[in-house]
Homo-oligomer: A and B are copies of this chain.
Amino acid sequence: MHWSDGFIAVDWGTTNRRAYLIGSDGRCLAEMEDDRGILSVDTGGFPDAVGAITDRLGDHPMLMAGMIGSNRGWKEAPYVPAPAGLEELAAAILWVEPDQIGIVPGISWTQGEAADVMRGEEVQILGALADGLVPAETIICHPGTHNKWIRLENGRIATFRTVMTGEIFNLLKEHSILADLLKPPAVADAAFEAGVRRGFEQGDLTADLFSVRARVLLGKAPAHAAASYTSGLLIGSDLRIGLGFAGDADIVVMGRPELTGLFAAALRELGREGREIDGEEAFLAGARRLAELLS
């Protein structure tokens, strides 16, 4: 079957995309990354945007995951309802070209009036599971633009909750009255830890965010610590929600290392452990396993 001869796996997000050429032995032979996220591509522009990938990585069958399958992407791949594993995802792939270009669907969850969705993280999470990096029953925290708290049960994504932590931080950094103060990178220092404790204990996030500026204006905190403190406030507030979701279960933190490092540090500050896993490795594992299921 041709998927075992090699293929291209694409993680196509809102603002960026990464593509990997996977060889017949499962190794990653080449990769590329650019800023042609879905929001930068006009309706009708996706075939050209895909051409830019095959120009770089060659002509191979292609599996795409992430926001490319959303209603703002190329073609909408309807969500698979949780609980779902890689088998359900493989069976629901939306074929743009039969058996040549497929879009992996996201996962939805509903309960009463509550509802949540993910696109992209599911390939990483279930890939890590397929490679034995996480157990079949665990809690995964997946920071990013939208942080996901995910419960794995029986090797499938059972429930999850999304927290807008990353997007709120970016909005504040780009466009808010705090923008100047948030220019430096956030690091896991003492100011970050103080923010984590405050955000976790207090639950008054929208007031505490304003206090960041007031504390600097009135000499209660140095300007250079504001970014780390604010990041801590938002992540502490996120953990307030997430630890309620997780209970006493073990927690894996998966994603980009600079983000998993901050979340793991915040968990430590609250007396919990978060084992870090690189999301890129997990994505490749998931893509390989999906290709096996197609072969």
Stretch at the interface among A2-10, A84-92, A165-173: A165-173
In Å, the complex CA distance between A206 and B210 comes to 16
CB distance from A107 to the nearest CB of B (A): 11
**Which B residues are in CB contact (< 8 Å) with A207?**
161-164, 241
Can you give 16 contacting A-B residue pairs, CB < 8 Å?
Answer: A71-B217, A79-B217, A79-B218, A108-B217, A113-B215, A113-B221, A114-B215, A115-B214, A115-B218, A117-B213, A117-B214, A162-B214, A163-B206, A168-B209, A203-B203, A205-B206
In Å, the complex CA distance between A177 and B71 comes to 12
CB within 8 Å of B: which A102-158 residues: 108, 110, 113-117, 146
Task: Tell which of A79, A110, A162, A207 has the most Cβ of chain B within 10 Å.
Answer: A207
Q: Is the CB of A217 within 8 A of B163?
A: no
Contact with B along A225-241 (1 / 0, CB 8 A): 00000000010011011
Q: Which of B115, B171, B172, B218 is in CB contact (< 8 Å) with A110?
A: B218
**Which B residues are in CB contact (< 8 Å) with A211?**
114-116, 162
CB distance from A187 to the nearest CB of B (A): 20
CB within 8 Å of B: which A195-212 residues: 203-207, 209-211
When C-beta atoms are compared, the residue in chain B nearest to A39 turns out to be B177
CB distance from A184 to the nearest CB of B (A): 19
Q: How large is the interface on A (under 10, 10 to 19, 20 to 34, 35 or more residues)?
A: 35 or more
In Å, the complex CA distance between A275 and B209 comes to 28
**Which B residues are in CB contact (< 8 Å) with A206?**
163-165, 168, 205, 234, 237-238, 241
Identical chains in the assembly: 2
**Which B residues are in CB contact (< 8 Å) with A176?**
164, 167, 171
In the complex, A174 has a CB within 8 A of chain B: yes
Q: Which of B171, B209, B217, B221 is in CB contact (< 8 Å) with A117?
A: B217
In Å, the complex CA distance between A215 and B162 comes to 12
**Which B residues are in CB contact (< 8 Å) with A71?**
217
In Å, the complex CA distance between A217 and B70 comes to 10
Q: Which of B110, B164, B165, B209 is in CB contact (< 8 Å) with A164?
A: B209
**Additional 4 contacts, C-beta under 8 A, given A165-B206, A168-B209:** A114-B220, A116-B210, A162-B210, A167-B177
With known contacts A206-B237, A207-B241, A237-B206, A116–B214 Cβ distance under 8 A: yes
**Which B residues are in CB contact (< 8 Å) with A116?**
210-211, 214
